[in-house]
Structure 1
Amino acid sequence: MSTVLLLARRIGIVLTLVVILVQPGFGTRAAPSQVADIEVLVVVDRTRSMAALDYEDGPRIYGVQQDLADLAEALPAARFAMLTFGADVELELPFTSDTTTFGTAVDTLRLEGPFDGTGSRADRPLEAMREVLERADEQHPDRRRMVVYVGDGENTAEGEQESFVELEDLVDGGIVLGYGTEEGAKMPEADNLSDEDGYVYDQDRGEDAISRLDEDNLQDIANQLGIDYAHRTEPGGMDAIAADFEASYAFDEGEGAPAEHDLTWVFGLLLLGLVLLELRSWWRALWTSHTALQPTRKEATS
């Protein structure tokens, strides 16, 4: 074999190996992923009352964030959406199977300022919940929808609370999570929830404002939705709550993150062919050398 062909083959081996290390691909496709048959709508109270210091002597919202992170970890293939409510209702996150994105939305959740709201109402997210659940039912009628309602149940705005019973037919399960105590607690005024700026002050009473858990109201909301209620006072136990959702799992070709069509295997086959040719050439050279030496050995023996 000519030196040129030998050199070209060895250069080809090196270049093919470099291409394999780059992992070439083209276009995009949805990688297969495990998905659950449930969609979880999380509804979070972000009024200032959720800053009250009666969750393990810290803000209620810290307990909320820990519990929601634990819930997402216990349901890794579920689709999560998040609504928050205060003076306004916001869809912070539409339904997604990306639990990392959901975790970020939970971690960056911010409460209203002490003077931003116009009084709290536990039924404020009712209409938005209905819209999200109806839209989800139209898009994926085969999936079950869970509602996780998070708050303290406290109403400080005027008016009679509307019933959640109109949502019962759209809800297949879930839980109402209550935070706070009946004795209540003060609410830090600082944005970072420290006591450096003191506490929210009640001008009418002439003292620091106290936010109290309304457990009866939260229990009523749970009954109207046809789901359970749990009073949360410490971390832990979210695995058992997630297990009650009874999610089932399957692989879905269209739910995964975008991925390239991988061509590495093509260049792997090319590399294998070039290496086999190199081994064949090496073996032939070795055999030729061995054959050429045999007469010399016989002459030496004689």
Structure 2
Amino acid sequence: MSPSRATTLTVVRRLAIVLAFVAVLLRPGVGHTEVPTQLSDLDVLVVVDRTRSMAALDYDGRTPRIIGAKADLKALADELPGARFGMLAFGADARLLMPFTTDTSAFDAAVETLYLEGPTDGSGSRADRPVPELQDVLKRAADQSPDRRRIVVYVGDGEDTGSAAEEAGHDFGDVRDLVAGGAVLGYGTTQGGPMPQSDDFDTSLGYLRDPTTDDTAISHADLEHLDRIAHQLGVPFEHRTAPGGLRKLADAFAASYSDGHGGHDRPAQHELTWLAGLVLLGLVLVELRIGWRAVWRTR
């Protein structure tokens, strides 16, 4: 081989080594696959009705409404890994029970230990009672973390038994511009169900009585009211009648965060870095072999 040709091959070979090394750094890829999305920029504020009507036995047969709600909230947290969850509960008043946290075990504990008001603790159910506190919580969150997305999940039965003038003017539309989405989850039936006297829902101790008739009190879910709340928030309403089926809802929450097409996963390329690495390894081995032969010949 002539010296000029040998020099040309050496230059080409070493240039190929540089290009292969650059390819490894660029991590080339083709096609698409799906990888789990960690929703680290999503805040989920759960607004839970803790009035006594949530003890009514008309969820999934004769299960207390609050039991179904608690199971759904835990399942939703499992479906949204990495998201921050907070909880605001309302009854006679509304209060933030847990600020936003990524600690799902803490959220599960807060859900599990959520207790309902006693039969005489409240001042009548008002589905719009949490609006002022909800607005304050969302505004504070927006001031502290303006780049995060916030969604609201309202959980309740929609029943109003309080004074109509008590909280006139409270409208969930007041917080619509503060949220990027969410859902209203409704529990109970329009036919209604009785409410156990016992805090642990033991029916052997009897049911709440209607003070005006002394008959067993029946709580009726107001699904139309819940639908109006969903319309005010600009989010979907889902009547929950049995456990399960929350993956679709979680996908909707994750959609705009991830790929914008309704998926809980974001697209990712099939990496070809390993192929560029093999090419680089082969070229380096050739270079070492040639260099070793040159040293051997000189000896």
SS of 1:243's partner is: helix
Pairing 1:104–2:104 present: no
CA offset digits 1:107-159 (Å, max 9, x no partner): 11100111111101001110110011001111111111100000000000011
Question: Which residue of the partner structure matches residue 42 of structure 2?
Answer: 38
Pairing 1:73–2:81 present: no
Q: Which amino acid aligns with 2:84?
A: R
Question: Which residue of the partner structure matches residue 205 of structure 1?
Answer: 213
Question: Which residue of the partner structure matches residue 31 of structure 1?
Answer: none
Closer, same or farther: CA 246–213 of 1 in aligned 2, 3 Å? same
SS of 2:237's partner is: strand
The structure number with the bigger radius of gyration is 1
Offset, 1:35: 5.1
CA offset digits 1:281-301 (Å, max 9, x no partner): xxxxxxxxxxxxxxxxxxxxx
Question: Which residue of the partner structure matches residue 296 of structure 2?
Answer: none
Contact 2:46 2:87 in 1 (8 A): yes
Q: Distance in 1 between matches of 2:251 and 2:200?
A: 34
Offset, 1:191: 1.1
- Written as runs of structure 1 = structure 2, the 5 A alignment for 1:254-273 is none
Pairing 1:175–2:183 present: yes
CA offset digits 1:132-191 (Å, max 9, x no partner): 100111111111110000000000001155221111100110000000001000000101
- Written as runs of structure 1 = structure 2, the 5 A alignment for 1:131-150 is 131-150=136-155
Q: Distance in 1 between matches of 2:183 and 2:102?
A: 20
- Written as runs of structure 1 = structure 2, the 5 A alignment for 1:1-302 is 36-56=40-60, 57-160=62-165, 162-246=170-254, 248=257
Contact 2:39 2:80 in 1 (8 A): no
> Percent identical across equivalent pairs?
55
Q: Distance in 2 between matches of 1:213 and 1:36?
A: 35
Q: Aligned residues, how many?
A: 216
Contact 2:42 2:150 in 1 (8 A): yes
Q: Distance in 2 between matches of 1:78 and 1:51?
A: 29
- 5+ residue gaps, structure 2, are 1-37, 259-299
Q: Which amino acid aligns with 2:242?
A: E
CA offset digits 1:226-283 (Å, max 9, x no partner): 111000000011111011012647xxxxxxxxxxxxxxxxxxxxxxxxxxxxxxxxxx
Q: Distance in 2 between matches of 1:180 and 1:62?
A: 11
Q: Distance in 2 between matches of 1:190 and 1:238?
A: 30
Q: Which amino acid aligns with 1:82?
A: M
Q: Distance in 2 between matches of 1:125 and 1:119?
A: 14
- 5+ residue gaps, structure 1, are 1-33, 250-302
Offset, 1:88: 1.7
Offset, 1:200: 0.6
Q: Distance in 2 between matches of 1:35 and 1:239?
A: 14
SS of 1:246's partner is: helix
Q: Distance in 2 between matches of 1:164 and 1:191?
A: 30
Offset, 1:206: 2.2
